[in-house]
């Protein structure tokens, strides 16, 4: 039953059966076989129902055979998102002569969460997803070994927790590398205050997860004008992260038809990026924005280096989360 790491060009019924057992975490009903039968027919893979039931029985026995077992998906979406040298890294830690055997399997189900793996200890399973960097996998494999030694999945997963796939937690479908931005999700209102002069303005932000791998921020800034009217600027920002890069990328679309790209660095829970200084500070000026969570809201600070190499606060906004 054990499969090699090489991607199969023609899928065997045996391997598909193991993938199904993993997808169902070892338990299924007659009806839950329907999508698999549909898939086999679509792929023109010959089978008889009795034969399929037999293969599933074999796969389940294999799934439960050892006291613990790690099943790593090598379906196409998972292969695509695994880092170079991943199979070697897995085999160094897990395998037939190690405390936890490993098997490379066909698709285990949640391809959008790729790469994906399942650990079984006794009758319980835990799934891990989105480990696209060597450092992600180091965190996970260390904790898997810890769980194997303690013979339980009820351990403190610590810094590997973001990679533990949770079927019942809706935020689990988010990109784990963006989860630290959760503090930007919601509806926030704040009043901005300039540090050097007595003027205020209003800002509003609505942050939302998009399509599992992006964060959108709708933002308005309203400034009072001398004639009593108000000048409102609107911006839509989309943030995303390539796991191979250390930074977060963002693109802002303004209501003036401009597109601005930002490279955002993360310092713990603080975000920092280069911004455009107000024109009156001249060509030598530089600006940077810092955004970080505060009690029940967030704080935005724009700092300006007026040309002497020192960044000083220009304005700050403290946003409070509204109760919609």
CB of 227 to ligand FES, least distance (A): 60
Applying CB under 6 A, does 121 fall inside the site for ligand FES? no
Which of 86, 90, 109, 215 touches ligand FES (CB under 6 A)? 109
Which of 107, 147, 287, 304 touches ligand FES (CB under 6 A)? 107
Q: Give 234's strand partners.
A: 220
Which of 110, 162, 186, 297 touches ligand FES (CB under 6 A)? 110
Applying CB under 6 A, does 162 fall inside the site for ligand FES? no
Applying CB under 6 A, does 87 fall inside the site for ligand FES? no
Applying CB under 6 A, does 108 fall inside the site for ligand FES? yes
First-to-last alpha carbon distance for the chain, in angstroms, is 53
Instruction: Output 108 or 174, the one with its CB closest to ligand FES.
Output: 108
For ligand FES, the nearest residue by Cβ is 75
Question: Going along the chain, which residue ranges are E strands?
Answer: 68-73, 102-105, 116-121, 124-129, 164-165, 186-194, 200-210, 214-224, 230-240, 248-254, 259-267, 270-275, 286-294, 297-305, 311-321
**Burial of residue 317 (number of CB atoms within 10 Å: 0-12, 13-18, 19+):** buried
CB of 80 to ligand FES, least distance (A): 9
* Cα torsion through 102, 103, 109, 111, rounded to 10: 80
CB of 79 to ligand FES, least distance (A): 8
Instruction: Output 130 or 217, the one with its CB closest to ligand FES.
Output: 130
Distances 30 to 37, 49, 56, 121 between C-alpha atoms, Å:
11, 11, 12, 26
Applying CB under 6 A, does 119 fall inside the site for ligand FES? no
Contacts with ligand FES by CB under 6 A lie at: 73, 75, 77-78, 107-111, 114, 116
């Amino acid at each position: 039953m054990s499969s090699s790491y090489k991607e199969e060009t023609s899928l065997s019924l045996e391997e598909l059966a193991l993938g199904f057992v993993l997808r169902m975490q070892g338990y299924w009903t007659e009806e839950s076989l329907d999508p698999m039968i549909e898939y086999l027919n679509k792929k023109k893979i010959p089978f008889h129902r009795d034969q399929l039931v037999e293969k599933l029985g074999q796969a389940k026995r294999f799934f439960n055979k050892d006291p613990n077992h790690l099943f790593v998906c090598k379906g196409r979406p998972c292969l695509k998102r695994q880092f170079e040298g991943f199979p070697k890294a897995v085999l160094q830690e897990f395998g037939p002569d190690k405390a936890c055997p490993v098997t490379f399997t066909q698709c285990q189900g949640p391809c959008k969460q790729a790469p994906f793996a399942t650990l079984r200890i006794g009758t319980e399973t835990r799934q891990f997803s989105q480990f696209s960097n060597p450092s992600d996998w180091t965190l996970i494999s260390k904790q898997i070994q810890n769980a194997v030694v303690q013979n339980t999945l009820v351990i403190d997963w610590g810094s590997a927790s973001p990679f533990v796939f949770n079927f019942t937690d809706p935020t689990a479908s988010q990109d784990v590398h963006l989860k630290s931005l959760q503090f930007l999700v919601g509806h926030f209102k704040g009043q901005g205050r300039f540090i050097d002069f007595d003027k205020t303005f209003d800002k509003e932000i609505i942050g939302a997860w998009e399509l599992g791998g992006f964060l959108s921020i709708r933002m308005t800034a309203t400034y009072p004008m001398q004639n009593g009217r108000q000048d409102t600027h609107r911006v839509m920002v989309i943030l995303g992260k390539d796991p191979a890069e250390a930074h977060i990328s963002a693109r802002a679309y303004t209501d003036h038809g401009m597109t601005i790209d930002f490279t955002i660095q993360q310092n713990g829970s603080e975000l920092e990026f280069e911004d455009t200084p107000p024109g009156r500070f001249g060509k030598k000026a530089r600006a940077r924005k810092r955004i970080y969570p505060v009690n029940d809201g967030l704080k935005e600070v724009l700092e300006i280096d007026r040309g002497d190499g020192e960044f000083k606060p220009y304005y700050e906004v403290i946003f409070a989360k509204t109760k919609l």
